Structure 1
Amino acid sequence: MTQHLIRTVQCLSPAGLHKMAYKEWGDARNPRVLVCVHGVTRVSDDFDTLASELCGEYRVVCPDVVGRGRSDWLRDPQYYQIPQYVSDMVTLLARLDAQTVDWVGTSMGGLIGMGLASLKDSPVSKLVLNDVGPSLSPNALTRIGSYIGESMRFDTFEDAVRYIREISQPFGLHANEEWRKLAADVLKQDKDGKWIRHYDPGLASTIKAPTPEGLQQMEALLWATYGAITCPTLLVRGAQSDLLTQETAQAMTTCGPKAKLVEVPGVGHAPTFMHQDQIDIVKSFLLE
């Protein structure tokens, strides 16, 4: 696999300073920058295959959103919110000296991309939303929230792989080695040698299924955010997604940036971009 570097950038939250780690692929002098941002319990390593494929065309930058992977944990978990993540990405772009960027965001990473792309004078020139939109299924949010807060410790790596594979079944069919990578990327050993997940348990406090009223307010805000986006937008949807309904995906093709919609058969939430057919969907949109 192509060589990459791991760097950090110092960011600020109301609770103080924190470091955000990121993987960087390709020529650091390349003015074409692609930022790839992962889902809520995932990490920058999710984009290894996509980044290695695109780093000849782009300087590809894949951050670990704060609280995950190689990045610091926030001193106050209440700031694990989209506005904080958008702020951190603005700091990252300043570090990269990137005037414009293309953006690939899976789930939460897509919401961060929407937030940044909706701003006046946004640096986002092309946006890829991977299985996420302004309306999110309450049942899917409950499913995801149910395992985020679980305190899990595994005696062996194999036990941990089985667990990650079980909760990640919506990713669709993957080879055993791909499942091992998907698991290894989000696992680490604690001081007792037990295998645990890589993220701050404090994330669970901000990722609870919202009340019906809260969900309505959130959706209204997200639709307004989506409506403010003007850059070319690609929406990739897992055909069996329980988070992004077909109805919402179709609505996204008729308002705001009028996203181009491509559905991936045999996949739920969310496509992993580990397979060539999925990579080609993104590649053709970004390079056309």
Structure 2
Amino acid sequence: MTNDTSRFFSAPDGLQLHARDYPPALGGERRLPVICLPGLSRNARDFHPFATLLSQDAALPRRVVALDYRGRGLSAWDNDAANYNVVIECRDVIAACAALGISRAIFVGTSRGGLILHVMAATQPDLIDAAVLNDIGPAIEAEGLKEIRDYLANRAFLETFEDAADALKRIHGPTFPALSRADWLDMAHAIYRDTNGRIAADHDPRLADQLQAVDFSQPLPTLWPQFALLAERPLFVVRGEHSRLFSTETMARMQAEASNLETATAEGQGHAPLLHHRSLFPRIKAFLDHRP
């Protein structure tokens, strides 16, 4: 059991947002907190096992905060779907830090969360002490983004969380051979919510609208100038072995351009890796333990 607490606060435009706050075990109060930023359609529950391991670590615990972006988890849905974008979500993350009394932190950004960190490095760099980028970089692959688009467009309603775990394994199993049945069930409970007896993805379905509007006949935009700013601080970059969104070529260029960068490959995982998986977590923890 953990003693994480729900925190509600206002975005700059007044929308109510939510975060899960995991206080550290004794001795961790003076260390920098870790703020976890989920993927496009995901929410704070994605980080529950990871946050529990970090906050309750016997040797070097830390406070961990996991955010629900607008339209996800327990945060309110936005009346204007155009506000589901990286710039506004970055402003929301900055507002969350202010509301929770955090002036500097180590950030963990999965997919969309990593893109937000690129923007933050250009707009509020002093917040970032160090960062973990989970299967994301300044360039993303069109094929991987198309897969996410098609996955989000197929909004299914399921009977049970067991059914949801089965559905996730059918879709993602080929790129996640390392996951156990317990992992798939954990993922199902993180992604889906039971609403009046129906199991459905826990986000505003209009999140898919922006991806439907992407013109894949044109090159996707990149964030290399913003990455140069982010790379001024220590970075740990994770790539899923079977990821189709984050290429080995992009990771190699990141290594060439950043002197403070460490990398790891999440074997047997695709997009986006489970950071608490036993094959990956010790390496991330070692990186974090070198920070104040």
- TM-score, with structure 2 as normaliser: 0.89
2:238 alignment partner in structure 1? 236
Unaligned runs of 5+ in 1: none
Equivalent residue, structure 1, for 2:191: 186
In the other structure, the counterpart of 2:47 is 47
Equivalent residue number for residue 201 of structure 1: 205
Equivalent-residue separation in structure 1 for 2:289 and 2:212 (angstroms): 38
**Greater CA deviation, 124-133 or 53-62?**
53-62
Counterparts of residues 59-208 of structure 1 (less than 5 Å): 59-119=63-123, 121-169=125-173, 170-191=175-196, 193-208=197-212
Instruction: Using the TM superposition, give the Cα deviation of residue 55 of structure 1 relative to its aligned residue in structure 2, in angstroms.
Output: 1.1
Q: Distance in 1 between matches of 2:116 and 2:242?
A: 23
Partner amino acid, structure 2, of 1:284: A
Structure 2: stretches of 5+ with no match in the other structure: none
> Quick one: distance in 1 between partners of 2:257 and 2:147?
29
CA deviations 1:159-190 (Å, max 9, x no partner) are 22221222333344222122112101221234
CA distance in 1, matches of 2:208, 2:260: 33
Q: Which amino acid aligns with 1:281?
A: R
CA contact (8 A) 1:171 1:270 kept: no
Contact 2:37–2:110 under 8 Å retained in 1: yes
Tell me, in whole angstroms, the C-alpha distance in 2 between the residues paired with 1:80 and 1:280. 33
Asked whether 1:26 is paired with 2:18, we answer: no
The residue number in structure 1 matching 2:11 is: 11
Residue 283 of structure 2 corresponds to: 281
Moved more, 222-231 or 205-214: 205-214
Q: How far apart, CA to CA, are the structure 2 residues paired with 1:117 and 1:7? A: 25
Q: Is the 8 A contact 2:39 2:111 kept in 1?
A: yes
State the Cα distance separating 1:75 from its structure 2 match: 1.0
Aligned residues: 281
Deviation at 1:212, TM superposition (A): 4.8
1:214 and 1:6, CA in 2 relative to 1: closer, same or farther beyond 3 A?
A: farther
Distance in structure 1 (CA, Å) of the matches to 2:247 and 2:114? 15
Distance 2:124 2:187 in 1: 36
Taking the aligned partners of 2:146 and 2:213, their CA distance within structure 1 comes to 5
- After superposition, give the CA deviation of every residue in 1:115-134 in whole Å (9 maximum; x if it has no partner): 21333542100011011011
RMSD value, Cα: 2.0
Counterpart of 1:261 in structure 2 is 263
Question: How far apart in 2 are the matches of 1:237 and 1:276?
Answer: 15
Paired residue secondary structure (1:74)? coil
Quick check: 2:233–2:260 contact (8 Å CA) kept in 1? Answer: no
- Encode CA deviations 1:194-238: one digit per residue, 9 max, x unaligned: 22111101101112373257544x21xx11111222111111111
Q: Once structures 1 and 2 are overlaid, which stretch shifts more, 20-29 or 224-233?
A: 20-29
- Percent of residue pairs bearing the same amino acid type: 27
Deviates more, 1:114-123 or 1:86-95: 114-123
Task: Measure the CA separation in 2 of the matches of 1:134 and 1:258.
Answer: 16
- The 1-side partners of 2:159 and 2:48 are apart by 27
Contact 1:226 1:257 in 2 (8 A): no
Of stretches 260-269 and 68-77 in structure 1, the one that deviates more from structure 2 is 260-269
Give the CA deviation at 1:103. Answer: 0.5
Distance 1:128 1:71, change over 3 A: same
